[in-house]
Structures are given as structure tokens and as C-alpha cells.
Chains A and B, each alone.
Chain A
Amino acid sequence: MADRPAVAAPEVAVSAEFAGLASAERIATAAAALHRNGIDSHVTGSGAEARRLVSSLLPDGAEVYNNTSQTLEAIGVADDIERSGRYQPLRLRLYRMDREMQRREMRTLSASPEYVVGSVHALTEAGSLLIASASGSQLGPLVSGAGHVILVVGAQKIVSDVPTGTRRIYEYCFPLEDARARRAYGVPSGVNNILIINNVVTPGRVTAIIVNERLGF
């Protein structure tokens, strides 16, 4: 969308190389590759459409954790999860818990949500998903902790291969996320962990929605 800023933190200088939307052909290639890799894939034309699709994939009353994600916030999915009253938003439940006395229970709960909804930092044409994380806390549920995983991916995140995806994380995502973390939390971020999902063995566990719109970074 032309009126959306290219990046969420425009004061940070990053290469435009990773900001442009992939062509329809590359989107179709990546979607087909995801499917081959055991990941249910969908392509939507807009964030609004993706929002409706996420909503249809989450059963009423489900326990849902929404990963920190500019994408989810931008298209309203974070709001739906935390505020619609349709689900049990795990973030709010964790917020209510005692940081000190219930630490173990908080760790257990956050490690194994029934549903986790998030995004990725790169999607390769061969259908690999790359996700970087400073704390790593959100990676465990994606790999195996969560019962179901739904990932919403802006089409600017499609790259040719894993090395290019890794470069996208370091050269593009990290500076923007670092600026965001400093603004939001007052601390720097870090590419401390990178998860690469090449293949999913449990059918139907992971769903990826590619949105033909520039979302998040």
C-alpha cells in the first residue's frame, strides 16, 4: 500500500533491498513450497482479508498467545486476540500472574499455548521460514510447544534462499527492531537466536498466510 511507511522506524537507515513486495509469481512459488514442506499456506490480497482468515482459524474460547509482531498489530489481529472477548488471551493471563511466586507456571504456560499467532522475518522461495528473537522465548512454542501455529507474512519478506533470509534479518530487520525495542522498552535488541523451519512433520499444525501487502518488518 502506497500510503504505508516503508518501515516502522523511518529514522533508521536500512537498505530498500528487502522492503519491496514480491511479485505474484514469487508469492505463488513460496506458497506452493510451504505446502510441500508440510505447512498449510494461504495467500491473501490484503491485511483485512488475512485478519478474517486468522479469525476463522481460531476457535471461540481458544487459548491464544499473540507473539510481539508489528504485522499482527497493523492488521488488527493483536486487538482481536487480546480484546474481542472471543478467546482466552494468554498474554493477559500471564500479566495477571505473580512474576516472582508463579514464575514456573508462567514459563510453562507461555511455552505451550494452544494456539500461537505470529509472524516471521523471512520466507524463502523454497518454503523455509526464518524467525529471529532476542530472548528466544517465542521460538519454543513455534517449533513444538504450541498446539497450532499461525504465521502472517507480509510479501516483502520473501527472499530467494536461507543465506539471503539471514542477511535480511541482520541488515534489515535487526536495525528496525533494535530501534523499536529501545523506544518501547528502553533496551537494545539482539539477533540472539534464529529459528529456521524447513519442514513440519505434524500435518495441519502450522499455517502460513502470505499477505500481498507490506506488513511489519
Chain B
Amino acid sequence: MSDRITPMSMFDYDARPVTPGVVLVGTRASRGAYAIRDFLTRNGYPFEWVDAEQPDAVAAVLGAPDLEPSALPLCILPDGSRLAAATVEQIAAGLGMIAAPSLAEYDLVIVGAGPAGLAAAVNAASEGLRTVVVEAVAPGGQAGTTSMIQNLLGFPDGISGSELATRAVVQARRFGAELLLARPLADVSADGPGYVARLSDGTLVRGGSLLFASGVDWRRLDVPGIDDLLGAGVYYGAGPSEALACTGSQVVVVGGGNSAGQAVVRFSRYAQQVTLLVRGRDLGASMSQYLIDHLSAIPNVEVRVRTQVAGLEADDRLRGIIVRSGDGSEPVQMPADALFICIGGNPRTDGAAGIGLATNAAGYLVTGPDGAGDRDGSWPLPREPLPLETNRPGVFAAGDVRCGSVKRCAAAIGEGSMAVALVHRRLAEVNGG
């Protein structure tokens, strides 16, 4: 049986597409299948998941119960075409998500479509700048997987990260900004006073200025055997595609920030028990108080401070974890069907090295006169770098990827918006305006 969502009310019929979606056949323990589920979920693309180990379900969609393992994950696109051993890139192309840039050159190329990047896109496009956003996976960034942001100005009832991203994308496009999705940035090179960004598929995007709003990747957890279980019970990030599959199971979330807290809220509605493991002494240092209060009111949530994952137990997928406590007691085993690691962050600066962007020791992009101006003598102009400007004139950074940024959605939105005023100054400098 596939885990097709059973509609619960007439309202549910109104809130789903009537045309065919994507069908994805794979095994739960497959890393490739997880990557596709994650990609489709984060892009809000409806799909039906069919477990390849359930012959009846496979027969229902393919007409035959057997399937060559080499064909997995198998994807059936809405037009009926089939992709064997499907990849995210093939599916993105098959769904028509890969657009070419419409202009030969832009005023501003934004790397990353999280809150900082989208805020920059809305502000830049609304002020008449020719604006393009390049995004590796899906709009929303880390905030995009957040179940409910309660403290964003203007949303007294809260707003989900995906809805915030949806609205921002509509707003950015309405002002004329372009979005190039589903392709990571490969590298950046200088091009006169401007820059050329090359995407993973070879697409070139030229811009008079560049904004890195590329955010952070989850920090890898250093536990033996963890890489073998990626997608098979171990996930980096909040894993929104896995929420339904966690129904009735034991879920462990690692991390002390708001993203970890939001993941716990999400999974608590499906899982039998959710345990949050926090390395620090308390949550107050890293998590918003409203989330801490929320977590403490959920009956099937347990928060364990001063703990960390010391080992994993698995067969073909995760079955349990070994938890070590900071009080020096013996490590203990606890059952776990899924482990979500939400520890920020490794700054995403792929492509930045090509133009020699300065970073701090942890890899965050340094900006402004205090950071970027005096590090290594690489700043070429007589003026000092503008706030949010890196050590390359016209290359800016905003949001989580920037050294010294406040790791909050509202702060990222503020920085993205602010960057646009600085981009104007840089373009005026170059164009003699």
C-alpha cells in the first residue's frame, strides 16, 4: 500500500490539484529517493510516494509488481513519461522548472532564495533594478521548512516558512525579478567591473553586482556510520517530506536553535514521541522563548539538555541511537526511527572562492569596513567597503552566510532589503550615476 494521503474532509478536496502529479517509486532507505522527495516537497510539488517493497502498490501504478532495482528511484511525470534511476536534476527538467535567464546582463544577481535573497529581490526589482535570483533547491531557504514562524512582524497568527516563501516569490516576480531554480551556483568570476555566475548546468548569469544570500548548510554530525544512513532514517534539516512517514514513530531532533524547535513542533503532530537533544545547558541561549514555551506544552515532546549523539544502531535503516550525557554518566541507548540534525551551520559559499571572497575562520563572508576592508590588502578601491560589501567591490553578503549576522528570519529580511540601497551606490559608482 502506498502512503497516499487519505482526504479527511471536503475541505481537503479543495486544497489539492485535480490534475495528475508526480509518482515516485522507491525504497524508504534510498538516499536518492529521499533527495527527490525533499526537492519536490520543498518546491511544493504534489507527488505520490509508492514504496517499491510493496508489490500491490507498485502494480497499481506500473501495471506489474516487479521492478528492476537498477530502475529505482523511478519517477512518472504528469505527462506519463518515466524516468528510471531518476535524479533531482532530471525531474526538475522534466517538470519544466529549468528556465534560462531572459537577459544577457542584470544589475543584481542574488545567490539564494531564502528570506534575505527574496527580500533583496523584491526591493531591487521594485526599484527598477534588473534582478535575478539563482537558487540551488527551492525558494524559502532554511526558513522555508519552518512549520510556523510566530514572531515575524505583521503576521500575528504566524506564517509558515513555505507560505512566506510563496508570497515572496509572487511579490518578487510581480516586480519583474527572475528566479532560476534547481541549479546550484558552480563558480563566479570577475567580468569587468561586474561578475559572471556559472550555474551547475553551465548557464551563465552576468551581473553588475552580486549578493550572496546563500545561507548555511546544516553542520555534519561526527558519528561513525552516519553517512551510510543519510535518507535511511538520518536527515539533515527539518525534513518536511518525512513528516507523514514519521506517524507513530520515535523521532529524535538534534539542535538548539529555532529550526530545531520548529522541526520538533512539526514532528510532534505525527510521531509517537519526539526527543530534542541539545548540547548546551539550556535552550534559552539559542531558541526564541515562544518556541521554548510551545515545546514545553506539547505532551509527546521531551527536551534533553547537555546531551549529544554518540552512536547509531541500524540494520538497513536507523533503529536507535546512543546518547551521551554531559554529566559523565554511561551512554544510554534509545530507540529512534528517524534522526533530524538541525545544527547550523556551515556557510554556503560555494563559488565564492573563485573571486577570493574573504571569510572568517568559520567560513562566513566578512563584510563592511571593519571586516572586509583591512584583512589581507585585497580591497582594491580608495573608498572603504560599504556595509554588507565583501572584499570585492560590488559583491555583497546578507543573511546567515554573512559573518556577524543575527540568525533570525526577520534579520535576514532586513539585511536583504538593506543590501539593495548599497547595490544602488555601487552601480552609480561604476556607471558614473
Spell out A's residues near B (CB within 8 Å).
Answer: 61, 66, 68-69, 72-73, 78-79, 82-83, 85, 88-89, 91-102, 104-107, 110, 134-135, 137-138, 185-187
> B18 to A99, Cβ gap below 8 A?
no
Q: CA A88 – CA B6 in complex, angstroms? A: 25
Chain A residues, CB < 8 A from B173: 61
> A105 to B13, Cβ gap below 8 A?
no
> A95 to B16, Cβ gap below 8 A?
yes
Most chain A Cβ neighbours within 10 Å, of B6, B10, B166: B10
Partner of A96, one of B14, B148, B162, B174: B162
B300 at the interface (CB under 8 A from A): no
> B13 to A135, Cβ gap below 8 A?
yes
Question: Beta-carbon contacts of B332-354 to A below 8 Å, as 1s and 0s?
Answer: 00000000000000000000000
> B170 to A91, Cβ gap below 8 A?
no
Question: What band does the interface of chain B fall in when counting residues whose beta carbon is under 8 Å from A?
Answer: 20 to 34
> A96 to B44, Cβ gap below 8 A?
yes
> B15 to A95, Cβ gap below 8 A?
yes
Chain B residues, CB < 8 A from A92: 17, 44, 46
Contacts of B390-433 to chain A: CB distance below 8 A: none
> A135 to B11, Cβ gap below 8 A?
yes
> B78 to A134, Cβ gap below 8 A?
no
Chain A residues, CB < 8 A from B174: 61
- Nearest chain-B residue to A83 (Cβ)? B19
Chain A min CB distance to B165 (Å) = 9
Number of A-B contacts (CB under 8 A): 83
Chain A residues, CB < 8 A from B13: 68, 135, 185
Interface of B is mostly: loop
Chain A residues, CB < 8 A from B11: 106-107, 135, 137
Partner of A97, one of B6, B19, B46, B160: B160
Q: CA A73 – CA B18 in complex, angstroms? A: 8
Chain B min CB distance to A101 (Å) = 5
B222 at the interface (CB under 8 A from A): no
Chain B min CB distance to A79 (Å) = 5
B96 at the interface (CB under 8 A from A): yes
Q: CA A66 – CA B15 in complex, angstroms? A: 11
| Extra inter-chain contacts (18) besides given A69-B18, A98-B160, A105-B163, CB under 8 Å | A61-B173, A61-B174, A68-B18, A72-B18, A79-B19, A88-B170, A91-B14, A91-B17, A92-B46, A93-B44, A95-B15, A96-B44, A97-B162, A98-B147, A106-B11, A110-B14, A110-B15, A187-B7
Q: CA A96 – CA B42 in complex, angstroms? A: 9
Chain A residues, CB < 8 A from B7: 185, 187
B158 at the interface (CB under 8 A from A): yes
Chain B min CB distance to A111 (Å) = 10
Top 3 A-B pairs, shortest CB-CB distance? A135-B10, A94-B15, A96-B44
> B18 to A66, Cβ gap below 8 A?
yes
> A91 to B18, Cβ gap below 8 A?
yes
B327 at the interface (CB under 8 A from A): no
